[in-house]
Every structure is written in C-alpha cells, then in structure tokens.
C-alpha cells in the first residue's frame, strides 16, 4: 500500500477530531502502560471521548475517511505489537466511567473498571456480579467478550446495553436481543459499548463481601498476579481445559525472551519484566503447535492481537 494516502487520511482524521472540540486527542501515545501485559507500541492517534456522541462522531470520522479504528478499554485482554499501531484508537477509561444506581438497577459507562463496579454492588448488598470479582479490565470489555467465572457470565445480569455501531449510530438492545456465546458476542464486534444496565437482586452485604474476598484470595493463590499478563490466553476447548492441556504437555515454564508460560497457571503467559510483543506471539504459536501435534486440538485465542496483520 502506498503510505501517502494513509498519511493523508490520518491528517484528515486528526483535523476533524480537533474540530469536535470535545475529548482528548493525542498522537503516538505509548500503549504499554495502557495494557496489563505492559507491552505495546504507540497509537498513531489516540482519542479519549467525553460522551457517547463523541464516540459516534469519532467512528463516523474514521468510516468517512476509510481509516481503521479500534476500541481500547482496560487493555486486559489484548497483545499490542511494537512500533506504531496504525489507525485511530478510541479509549474509554478517561471519561466514560460513571456508575449510577436506581434501586436494583445499575447503569454503568463502559470505561468503568469491573472491580470498581463489583465493590460498589457488594457494599450495597446487590447480588449477581460477585462471582466475577478479580477479573481485570473494564465493564465494556467484559461485556464485549461475555466474561465469566464460577458459573456466572456477565450477560446473566444485563438488562440492556447501549453501543455505537460501525456506522456511528447509537443503538440500544435488550439482553434478549443479543446472542451471547462463550467469550464471544458477534453482534458487538467492531462496536463501541457506551453504557450497560445491570438488574441485580437484594442480598446480605456481609456475606457478599466474604464471598468476594474469598474469590479474590483464591485467584491470588492460583494465578500469577505478581507478573504482568492478560489473563487466560486461550478459550476453553470443547470437553477440555486449555491450561490442563498445556500443563500435561510439559509447557509450564517454557520461555522465549522475556515471555514465559506461567509455572503457577499454565493458561497464563507472563511478562517477566522485559518481554516484547513478538516474544509473547512466538510463545502463543509454539503452544498452539505443540498442543495440536500432541492432542489434535486447535487452541482458540481468547486474547486479541493488535498490529500483527
């Protein structure tokens, strides 16, 4: 591809974003600090919208200029390559992070941290989200992948979600209007979730807090939380567990550069301190190759890869 048209598109997108006079626009913003891997290059253009209309405008601008865009929340489920991440990165955590309560209904903006939401609901004695305690990232990211733990998926408690579609139009869907799959919600792909309403039940705050604390304690015991990672690398294959397959294949501790299959939990790849995205990527490919050779099972990524096209 001739780079000149893309450079011109970037200049056009920048100018139009500045003309919105709302939100924050930055160029070549470091992304490593915005991911839980603590790995990544630079966003060609990073935009922090103030509200839903800003999100809609930004996506329309990208679409009109045929400029690629991505949505970045807490960066807890993504591996970003080194170098410049071409396109527009719309990040939700700076401004879209309010949480409001109306009796048993909680309305949350997508950039709010999931743990922050759970702390508030537990404090108020609202039941439904406590099993997700300790899952990192934002509410929007959790909904987009239908995160889950201990028999609960985040979609179980959703009443409705609001999002901006690929054409820059604001949409509202009830929970029942969306197909919720295991760690995948096809209808929300390439959209930007802006608000989520959760319908919760009443419970005992003391018991809820005890449960939350126990779940977080169990995570700390079983997961390598003292190293940067992005959680489970692979989805659970049918009738098996990715971490168990990786462990049985003897891959715990397998290291490439600064990236390592955790010795504590084989489903995690950790950054030992100086890992490069390319090293994590090579480790992912090595694991998949060995597992398919040994068991005939193709491990499907749960994490997203950005900038490896």
Show which residues are catalytic. 183, 232, 302
Angle, in degrees to the nearest 10, between helices 52-64 and 3-20: 150
DSSP strands (E only) in the chain: 24-30, 42-48, 69-72, 78-80, 84-91, 99-102, 105-109, 126-127, 148-149, 152-153, 158-164, 170-174, 192-199, 201-202, 229-232, 255-256, 259-261, 268-271, 304-306
Q: Within 13 Å and on the Cβ side, how many CA atoms surround 125?
A: 7
Beta pairing class for 126-127 and 201-202? antiparallel
> DSSP alpha helices (H): ranges in 191-241?
205-222
Kindly state the tokens that stand for 98. 């309010």
Q: Are 191 and 178 in contact (CB under 8 A)?
A: no
Return all residues near 76 (Cβ < 8 A) that are at least 6 apart.
Answer: 35, 36, 136, 137, 138, 141, 230, 231
Residues 62-75 as b or e (16 or more Cβ within 10 Å = b) = beebebebbbbbbb
DSSP class of residue 203 equals -
């Amino acid at each position: 591809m001739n780079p000149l048209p893309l450079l011109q598109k970037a200049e056009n997108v920048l100018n139009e974003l500045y003309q919105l006079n709302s939100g924050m626009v930055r160029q070549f913003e470091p992304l490593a600090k915005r991911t839980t891997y603590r790995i990544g290059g630079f966003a060609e253009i990073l935009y922090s919208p103030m509200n839903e209309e800003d999100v809609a405008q930004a996506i329309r601008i990208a679409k009109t200029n045929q400029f690629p865009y991505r949505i970045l929340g807490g960066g807890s489920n993504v591996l970003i390559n080194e170098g410049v991440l071409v396109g527009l990165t719309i990040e939700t955590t700076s401004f879209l992070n309010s949480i409001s309560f109306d009796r048993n209904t909680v309305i949350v903006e997508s950039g709010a941290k999931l743990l922050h939401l759970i702390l508030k609901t537990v404090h108020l004695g609202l039941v439904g989200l406590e099993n997700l305690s300790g899952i990192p990232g934002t509410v929007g990211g959790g909904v987009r992948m239908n995160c889950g733990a201990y028999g609960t998926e985040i979609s179980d408690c959703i009443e409705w979600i609001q999002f901006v579609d690929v054409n820059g139009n604001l949409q509202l869907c009830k929970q029942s209007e969306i197909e919720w799959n295991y760690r995948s919600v096809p209808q929300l792909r390439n959209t930007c979730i802006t608000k989520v309403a959760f319908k919760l039940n009443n419970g005992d705050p003391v018991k809820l807090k005890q449960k939350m604390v126990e779940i977080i304690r169990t995570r700390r015991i079983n997961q390598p939380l003292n190293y940067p990672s992005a959680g489970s690398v692979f989805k659970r294959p049918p009738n098996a567990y990715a971490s168990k397959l990786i462990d049985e294949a003897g891959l715990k501790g397998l290291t490439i550069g600064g990236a390592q299959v955790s010795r504590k939990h084989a489903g995690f790849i950790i950054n030992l301190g100086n890992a490069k995205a390319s090293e994590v990527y090579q480790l992912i490919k090595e694991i998949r190759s060995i597992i398919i050779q040994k068991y005939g099972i193709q491990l499907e990524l749960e994490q997203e890869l950005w900038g490896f096209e």
